[in-house]
Amino acid sequence: MTTLLRLWSFYARRTTRWPGVAAAIPFIALIASWAIVAESAIFPRAFFPGPLDVVRSFGSLVYKGILPDYLEDSVVRLAVGAAAGTALGIPLGLWLGMSPRAYSALWPVLLFFQAIGDIAWLPILLIWFGFGLATMTFVIVYTVLFPVVLNTVLGVRSVPIDLHRAALSLGASRARILWEVVVPGALPNIVTGLRNGLGYGWRALIAAEIIVGTSGIGFLMFDARRAGSVVEILLGMIILGLLWSVVDGWVLVPIERATGQRWGLITQ
Amino acid sequence: MKGLLIRNLSKTYFDPYAGAHVTAVRDVSLSVNEGEFVSLVGPSGCGKTTILNMIAGFVPASSGDIVLDGRRISGPGPDRGVVFQSFALFPWKTVLENVAFGPKMRGAGKTERERIAREYLALAGLGNAADRYPNELSGGMQQRVGVARALANEPDILLMDEPFASVDAQTRMTLQEELTRIWQARRPTVIFITHDVNEAIFLAERVIVLSKGRLLAEVDVPLPRPRVWDTLIEDAAFKTLSARVLHLVRSG
Amino acid sequence: MARQVRSPRAGIAFVAPLFVLVLLWAGVVRAFGVDPRIFPGVLDVARAGLDSIRDGSLVMHAAASLLRVAVGTALAILASVPLGVAMGVSPAVSSFLAPLFRFFSVLAGIAWIPIATLWFGYGFGAITFVIFNAVFFVVTYNTLLGVASIPLPLRHAAASLGARRWTMLTEVLLPGALPNIVTGIRTGLGFAWRGLIAAEMIATNVGLGYMLFLARDFYRTEVIVFGMVVIGVLWLLLDRLLLAPLERATIERWGLVRA
């Protein structure tokens, strides 16, 4: 028992000093379990390959230049779609947040289109634009739009009314209030919206690439499925998971926290 | 006429939860001369905040008018500065930028408005805090910034909505003394809203008592200045006034 | 937090703009003489809709989709809530496993479609797996968080009042974690619904997603648009009339505003 406790205390001390280690250890354990299950061949090797097979595939795809190309395609599509969705969504959100009339007129429409979801648009998009970039970009923009708008509206509305009133009694015009009070006040929520938008956006990207694609990680996975090669599917999933975890955990969340904390708006 | 004139002011609104119309302010008339410090005191729900909001222009009056320096008021503006109970400082701006906001809206250039801001920060005793952010300051300091910010815009009248209600009792007394000091230096016209009778008397030259939306009484405060809590708390005249106003408030 | 004054007025306020949208749609199609193969008119869509109700195809597809969602979700909740509670109770276990479940929540739904079709072939199994998956990881993670964030003093208080394991579970842990659980279910269902539609486009021959994709082959845009409307309405009903009030009720009821 004491050896177990000693191991546990060793683990606890190391991970408090290096939280990165704490995050990594569970995954190492997971990979180890995975390797054991795969080796034991409970499931046929063809259906359940081991971590080494995946690494080998990673190496070969990088060597052939396929993986970097596909990755680049996927990332570029997502970036373009997300940028467009954000550029449309923030102004729209600001407008809806500030104008009660526009809000009551458009909110139900917005909710309804959000409920339809981006995927359901694919069939008609394929008729209109065919199997190409336009279709995929539309889907991503559509997906990113709603979280951005919704969160921006929330942000605008969460600016305390006293701040509006203070600005008015200091001589600010409505336009200046937008720039000096509303946008900075809503910024933490806007960043959250962006983060959520990207989260949904990459999922839409994968779906679009699976159904429509000619390249990209989603296409990689679906093509591998067609060829019956599980290894590449797993590789694709791992890359997606890792990529998003890194981007979200080390880029987006810190930005979100920084904007909130800096203005003492989030007491974390 | 210089100063504020309120004639037959009333405010009625519909309360969806009560399912009925509520009259918050009933036919109130009063006047405040230029450079005068007036307190509006009364229990919660007596309509004092509603009156302030109408003077500030945040809320339209149902009937009656409000005239400032001969002009009828409609909507908010820089001629009526406001100090809020919640401080309402812009969290993303530094203290200096907050205080410089009014001049900035009026079109003052950077050097000019920073000069003005520093002047008022010094007046409020906050010279060192210029580059800090509001959330780094204590409640008392934040409210001083609030006062400095409102004054820096040199409004025709300063409206203060229970500004010290959110700070602890000791800080409150310090702030009250600070406020009287600043007021004696600059002599702005001030309407100060509070539910604290002693605070109302300490600060003002005239105390107006409100009850259930109506003006109940006006009490003059002939106490000499400068006023300091240590002496005033034992002063016979203060105690008499305090008892009288308290009686009015409680009986109203 | 004041209770929402819900009334038929709110319902009308919601439907009115959509009604205006439909009118605009009809107007635009007529005014610009849009080719029905590009975008159908309101009447065409309505007619297609009625046909699909009459010949039973709508019911068949909608039922298939909803059944998959129901089964997948029910299985997932049955599996994930107990697991989440068990993991959440121990801080050591929850801090160890939480990153794993968070990672897999990230992958929830659509990304599992290729591997699901490989493991389960086309059809009910693969799609239900995708749905199960989408809900399972998200709900487990949220349950874990919910239980772990129940203030320890609360659990101690219950224990010192004589709560045994079962009582602790039903009177303290589950109610305390309920807001998080419901939020998790709502989020997970969102992923599941979208994963469902995507999966049905690829991996089966019945269901709303399939109905859309099939219509595309024949350029029957009126069926597509009708299908989109059905999908939108179904999700709106599910989310707004069931999930959102449920979420709000659990949070309101407990008056919890947990940081």
- pLDDT over threshold 70, residue B138: yes
Tens digits of per-residue pLDDT, C147-188? Answer: 888 888 888 888 888 878 777 788 788 888 888 898 899 888
pLDDT digits (tens, 9 = 90+) for C39-82: 888 888 888 889 888 888 889 999 999 999 999 999 999 999 99
ipTM of the complex as predicted: 0.90
Bridge partners, residue B5, by sequence: B31, B67
Q: Encode burial over A53-72: b for 16+ CB neighbours within 10 A, e otherwise.
A: bbeebbeebeeeeebeebbe
Least CB–CB distance from C114: residue in A109, A121, A233? A233
Using the beta-carbon criterion (under 8 Å), do B134 and A264 form an inter-chain contact? Answer: yes
Instruction: Kindly list the residues of chain B whose beta carbon comes within 8 Å of any beta carbon in chain C.
Output: 16-17
Identify the CATH number of the domain defined by range C54-257. Answer: 1.10.3720.10
Interface of A with B in 230-259 (CB under 8 A): none
Quick check: B213 contacting A, CB < 8 Å? no
Q: Which residue of C has its CA nearest to A118?
A: C194
Question: What does the alpha-carbon distance between residue C53 and residue A140 come to, in Å, rounded to a whole number?
Answer: 32
All residues of chain C having their beta carbon less than 8 Å from the beta carbon of residue B14 are none
Domain ranges in chain C?
Answer: 54-257
- Cβ pair A123:C219 closer than 8 A: no
Copy the structure tokens of residue B145. Answer: 């910034």
CB of C111 within 8 Å of any CB in chain A? yes
Percent of chain B scoring above 70 in pLDDT: 99
A222·C114 Cβ contact <8 A: yes
Per-residue pLDDT, averaged over C19-43, amounts to 85
* pLDDT for B20: 86
A124–C221 C-beta distance less than 8 A: yes
Q: Which range in B98-102, B213-217, C221-225, C250-254 is most confidently predicted, on average pLDDT?
A: B98-102
Determine if the peptide bond prior to B226 is cis (ω within 30°).
Answer: yes
Residue A243, C-beta contacts closer than 8 angstroms, at least 6 positions apart: none
CB contacts, 8 Å: C197 with chain A: 117, 119-120
- The whole-number average pLDDT for the span B192-200 is 94
Comparing A8 with B234, the larger pLDDT belongs to B234
Asked if B64 has any chain A CB less than 8 Å from its own CB, the reply is no
- Mean model confidence pLDDT for chain C: 85
pTM of the model: 0.85
Residues of B within 8 A of C2 (CB-CB) are: 17
Per-residue pLDDT averaged across B153-161, rounded? 94
pLDDT of residue C146: 87
- Chain A residues whose beta carbon lies within 8 Å of the beta carbon of residue B133: 262-264
Given A171, A184, A262, which is nearest B78 (Cβ)? A171
Nearest Cβ partner for A109 among C21, C213, C221: C21
Q: B161 to chain A: nearest residue by CA?
A: A162
Strands of chain C (E only): list them: none
The candidate with the shortest Cα–Cα distance to B61, out of B82, B47, B41, is B47
CA distance B28 to chain A (A): 23
Do A263 and B82 lie within an 8 Å CB cutoff? no
Residue C1: band (very low, low, confident or very high) from pLDDT cuts 50, 70, 90: very low
Residue type, A10: F
The per-residue pLDDT of chain B, averaged, comes to 92
Closest CB to B92 among A168, A173, A184: A184
Low-confidence ranges of chain A (pLDDT < 50): 266-268
CA B196 to chain centre: 13
Residues B118, B123, B125, B131: what is their CA dihedral angle, to the nearest 10 degrees?
Answer: -10
A232 touches chain C (CB under 8 A): no
Rounded CA-CA distance B9/B51 in Å is: 8
Q: Which residue has the tokens 């160890």?
A: C96
How far away is chain B from the Cα of A179, in angstroms, using its nearest Cα?
Answer: 12
pLDDT computed for residue C124 by the predictor:
86
Distance from the first to the final alpha carbon of chain B: 31
Contact status of C92 with chain B (Cβ, < 8 Å): no
* A268 Cα to chain B: minimum distance (Å): 13
Distance from CA of C229 to the nearest CA of A (A): 7
Using a CB-CB cut-off of 8 Å, the residues of chain C touching A122 are 201, 212
Predicted confidence at residue C39, as pLDDT, reads: 85
pLDDT at C90: 81
Beta carbons of A222 and A168 less than 8 angstroms apart: no
pLDDT at A199: 87
Q: What is the pLDDT of residue C256?
A: 57
User: How far from A245 is each of A191, A197, C181, C183, CA to CA, in Å?
Assistant: 17, 15, 22, 21
Chains touching chain A through at least 3 C-beta pairs below 8 angstroms are B, C
CB contact under 8 A, C201 and A241: no
Q: Which of residues 1-60 of C touch A (CB under 8 A)?
A: 13-18, 20-21, 37-38
Q: Does the distance separating the beta carbons of C119 and A124 come in below 8 Å?
A: no
Integer Cα distance of B6 and A180 in angstroms: 33
- Residue C2 forms contact with B (CB below 8 Å): yes
- Residues of chain C found within 8 Å of residue A237, distances taken between Cβ atoms: 107, 111-112, 115
Is B32's pLDDT higher than 90?
A: yes
**Is the pLDDT confidence value at B95 over 90?**
yes
Contact C92, C147 (CB under 8 A): no
Of the candidates B173, B148, B174, the one whose C-alpha atom is nearest the C-alpha of residue B160 is: B148
Any C CB within 8 A of A124 CB: yes
Structure confidence at residue C229 (pLDDT): 93
**Nearest residue in chain A measured CA to CA from B158:** A169
Residue B196: φ, ψ to 5° = -95, 110
B 146-185 residues with CB < 8 A to A? 149-150, 153, 155, 159
Q: If you average pLDDT over residues B193-212, what whole number do you get?
A: 93
State the nearest Cα–Cα gap between A184 and chain C, in angstroms. 22
Residue of B nearest to C2 (CA): B17
A169 with B76: Cβ contact below 8 A: yes
B69-93 pLDDT, tens digit each:
888 988 899 999 999 999 999 999 9
Write the pLDDT tens digit of every residue in C95-135: 888 888 888 887 877 888 888 888 888 888 889 999 998 89
